[in-house]
Each structure stands twice: as structure tokens, then as C-alpha cells.
Chains A and B, each alone.
Chain A
Amino acid sequence: MDLSIPNPVRSIFEGEQRDDSVIVNIGPSHPATHGTVQIIAELDGERVRRTDVHCGYLHRGFEKECEDHTWHNLIPYVDRLNYVSALINDFAYCDGVEQLMGVQITPRCRYLRTLLSEYSRVVDHLTCIAAGLMEMGAMTAFLYLVMIRDYMYEHLAALTGARVTHSYGRIGGLARDLPAGWLTRLEEILTQYEDFVARVHALVDRNRIFIDRLRNVGVISTGDALHWGYTGPILRSTGVPRDLRKDTPYLAYAELDFEVPVGINGDNYDRYYVRMREMDESVHMMRQLAGMLPEGPINVDDRRCTFPDKTLVYSEIETLINHFKLVMDGPRVPAGEVYCAHEAPNGELGFYLVSTGGGTPYKVHVRSPSFVHMGGAHRMLDGGQLADIVPTFGSINMIGGECDR
């Protein structure tokens, strides 16, 4: 057996020699770290003195891949960033390209994208909370939430063709319109969601063990949160109602009635509760949107980005050439750059796109919230107990695909 397996990281503890502390390696192949993240912790008994967080184990070269593909072809790559809420990634990226091209999406597309963004948000929060609860041993709550999540996956598969990584957004619109009966089924799922989530609340909210494990654990103050770049539910759990959907509204959010839940202490319990309340607000928004969807086309009628009708492609030469150019060269995006940010379930998801006027991007950069949050994770982990690393880490909701890109 070859014993010389190289170590891909160097920890900050390497040069230090203290005999009153133990250095423990947690991860990256570890059941409680969701995704491949390594935390090297210096322990004093059970208390964590310092942590050194290493990510990058799922770095798949997204940005380099993007430079080789056309603006359309890289939508599946974008999907697989935050693979739990794939639709939001799609829409944020498509929004960026549409801004660069000067394309206005149709009203139906705008409302539908908002509805699906909120749907993705619910799925993401369900996953985060379910995984967090399972880590602490609450299997029943995990099974309830995963059951509802599964209904949602099957429902989204009926619309997009895939359970998880949908690749549904297109530049200038969406891949296809809603199938018949989709909105009816949506209402059924939302009713079941309320039932299941009420059960989870009953099981967990006032549970002595749950409160003891999460209250005043992993506390972060607002000043620290901003200093370390936190956005999203983590920032809101510290008491600051900052939400891009309210502050700089995009898509159809300006027309919706919803609240932004905030926490009190900035601890794990607050993050759990902010996510639960955000899901309720998302469901409320989805119900409003299901009633507001206007009729009309899904894709904007713009030859620069929308694929033409197949019957015309087979009969007219100009449409054939248009289709050919769109497939082979990609949509021509004028030279320029844009930073487009949406409120992802984890925080501010930004796409910085640089174009030099061709069909392939010059640079696609993702400002991923998980990566930035990992940079400040040690603020929440240091000083706590070893057993607190698990729920705190779960409440940060680091998604490997987004963090490491």
C-alpha cells in the first residue's frame, strides 16, 4: 500500500508548537460537513480555540469552462453552481446577459421567473433546515421536509425536465411554458407544505434540546457580519433587514406584498427561524404570483437571442441562418461588462460578465455568497464547543458547488 498520499492543503497550525492544545481535522470527507469542506480546529479540551477553514475541494473550473462555451451553452454550468436552487442561478445569469444585450423580457416571463425563484428559495431552505436538523438527530423533521422537497422536485421536473439542475432559463426568456395543470398542482403542494412545516415547527421550535443546542451558539454581530461580507439570511438573522428584493427590486418583486424576516441575536436559532419564515413569505409570494401571471409569450421576439420557430427554420433561409448562427457562434453580446446581483437563498449572488462582442464570453465571474461566508465562518466557530461546529456550519448553508465553483 502506497503510504505517501500528498496533502493538498497547508494549515496555519503547521509552524506552531503548543502542547496544551490538540489539532483535529474535520473533513473534507465527513458526514456532518455538507459538501467537501475541511475545518482544521485547534482544540482546548472540547472548546475550539481557532479554526482554519479550507474549501476548494469541489473547484471544477467553472470560469475557465465558461470562456470556451457560447453564452447559451454555459447555462448548464451556471445551474450547477448552487445546485440546490438552480433556477435562481439561471435567472441571475440570464438577467446579466439580457442587460448587456439590452433585451427586455416579456411580462409573463418576468412573473414566471419570480415565481420560480421563490420556488427555488423554498427548496433551498428546506434542504438547509432538513440537513441541519438531521445533523442534530431530528430524523422525523428531516423526513417531513425531504418529503415535501421531493414533491417539489417532481413538480419542477414536470416543468423543466429535471429534478435538480433544471437549465430552464434562456437568454430572453425561458425554455418552455407551463404545462396544463401545473398551477393546480402547485397549490396542492403549497397546502401540503403548510401542513408539514407546521408539524416541524411543533416538533422543534420549543424543543428543549433544540433550543439548548442552537440558542446563543454561533453568534455573530451585525458589524462583524458586514465586515466579513455576510448577506442573506445570516445578515438578516443579526437584525438588519437587508434584502435585495426590497432594496433594489428586480424581476416582479416591486409589485409583491411580502415581509423581510429578521432575527434578534445572530445565533443559529435565529438563522433557522429566519429561513422558516422566509419560506412562508415565499409561499405567500408564490400564491400572489400564481394569480398575477399574464397571458402572452414566454420568450421575447428578438432574433439576437431567441431561437426561431422550427417550422420557419425548415422553410426560410434567413431563419435557418439565424438558427445556425445562434447555435454555432452563440448570441452576439455587445462589448461591455455588467454586474448583476440577485437575492439567492444564501445571500447576494452576483454575476460579473465581461464581453468583447462575440458569441462567447471573455470572462464570467460569480460572486458566490457561500465562498464569502466561508471566509468569515471562523468568527462563528472560534470560541465555541466542538459539537457546536456541526449546527453552526449547517446554518451557514455552504453549498460546495457555489463556494468552489
Chain B
Amino acid sequence: MEFMAVSASPYDTDRFGAALPRFSPRQADLLMVVGTVTHKQAPILLKVYEQMCEPKWVMAFGVCATSGGFYQNYATVLGIDKIIPVDVYVPGCPPRPEMVIDGIMQLQDKIARSSHPILTRSF
């Protein structure tokens, strides 16, 4: 819901480089996991993550993706970092669009500060 709002006007993540999604994981850099991930969905999430090529980053969008939220029961994965490594967590249920933009900007800072084995290798 809020993903649709944050990528459209007036919040518009396109200004920050996170344009409308590339629909194939093979062409994507950032995986935004929006909403609750259930045990039924977990294999699909893992498959999509593994289809992405390096370098890749993951954003946990929402508190359900971060830690399971208030769904502490048999059906939900209590945080996607149990399955895939996560780079930035954006809590909230749902997070305000400004928080998502802040999350994207923090991720950009993190990438700028880090030394990724592929990106910083001198060719």
C-alpha cells in the first residue's frame, strides 16, 4: 500500500534513484520486502533473492518484515533476516513514505561508505 504511495506522487522515490521497479530480479539492485513474509512465502523470497545478481541489497519494509510485527504465531517468519541478509530496516506499520525515503537515503550512504568486493575492485 505504502510502497505504491511512496513511488508515486507526491513522495516519488524516482528522485532518489529508486525508480519504478524493474520487474525481474535478475536486473534489480535492491530488493524491498514489503509486508509480512509467511512460511508459505519464504521459499519464494529465498528464490527471488538468489535470482538477483551481485551486488544486491535488501530493505525490510515494515515491521512485519523486520521482526514479524505483532503476528507472533505459526504462520509468519519472525523477521526476514532469518532467511536472507538485510541491509536496512524500515519499521512502521506501515512506515510513512518519508521513512522509506530516509531508508533509501541511508542505504545510499551505507553503500557509499562501504567497500563492496565487486564495486571497488579496480578493473
A and B interact: yes
Q: A residues near B, CB below 8 A? A: 1, 5-9, 28-29, 31, 36, 56-61, 64-65, 76-77, 80, 83-84, 127, 130-131, 142-143, 146-147, 149-150, 153, 163-165, 400
Q: Which residue of B lies closest to A3 (CB)?
A: B50
Q: Specify which of B21, B41, B50 lies most central, judged by the most chain A CB atoms within 10 Å of its CB.
A: B41
Query: A8–B43 contact, CB under 8 A?
Result: yes
Query: A58–B38 contact, CB under 8 A?
Result: yes
Name the interface size band of chain B.
20 to 34
Q: B residues near A, CB below 8 A? A: 1-2, 4-5, 8-11, 21, 23, 35-36, 38-41, 43-48, 50, 64, 70-71, 73-76, 93-94, 96
**Given known contacts A6-B43, A57-B44, A60-B76, what 6 new A-B pairs fall within 8 Å (CB)?**
A5-B47, A29-B48, A60-B71, A61-B73, A61-B76, A164-B94
> Chain A residues near B9 (CB, 8 Å)?
143, 146-147, 150
A-B CB pair tally, cutoff 8 Å:
87
Query: B44–A153 contact, CB under 8 A?
Result: no
Query: A142–B8 contact, CB under 8 A?
Result: yes
Q: Specify which of A6, A8, A28, A76 lies most central, judged by the most chain B CB atoms within 10 Å of its CB.
A: A8
Query: A8–B40 contact, CB under 8 A?
Result: yes
Query: A164–B10 contact, CB under 8 A?
Result: no
- Bound form: Cα–Cα A184–B47 in Å: 50
Query: A150–B75 contact, CB under 8 A?
Result: no
Where chain A touches its partner, the secondary structure class is: loop
- Bound form: Cα–Cα A143–B5 in Å: 10
Indicate which residue in A29, A59, A150 contacts B10 across the interface (CB closer than 8 Å).
Answer: A150
- Bound form: Cα–Cα A8–B39 in Å: 9
> Chain A residues near B35 (CB, 8 Å)?
58, 400
In the A-B complex, the 8 residue pairs with the smallest Cβ-Cβ separation, listed nearest first, are A61-B73, A61-B75, A146-B8, A31-B23, A57-B41, A60-B71, A8-B40, A5-B43
Q: Which residue of B lies closest to A27 (CB)?
A: B44
> Chain B residues near A127 (CB, 8 Å)?
1, 4
> Chain A residues near B50 (CB, 8 Å)?
1
For the complex formed, measure the closest distance between the CB of B65 and the CB atoms of chain A, giving whole angstroms.
Answer: 12
For the complex formed, measure the closest distance between the CB of A24 and the CB atoms of chain B, giving whole angstroms.
Answer: 15
Q: Which residue of B lies closest to A68 (CB)?
A: B73
| 23 A-B pairs (CB sep. < 8 Å) | A5-B47, A6-B43, A8-B41, A29-B48, A57-B38, A57-B40, A57-B44, A58-B36, A60-B64, A60-B75, A61-B71, A61-B76, A65-B70, A146-B9, A147-B8, A147-B9, A150-B8, A150-B9, A150-B10, A150-B11, A153-B5, A164-B94, A165-B93
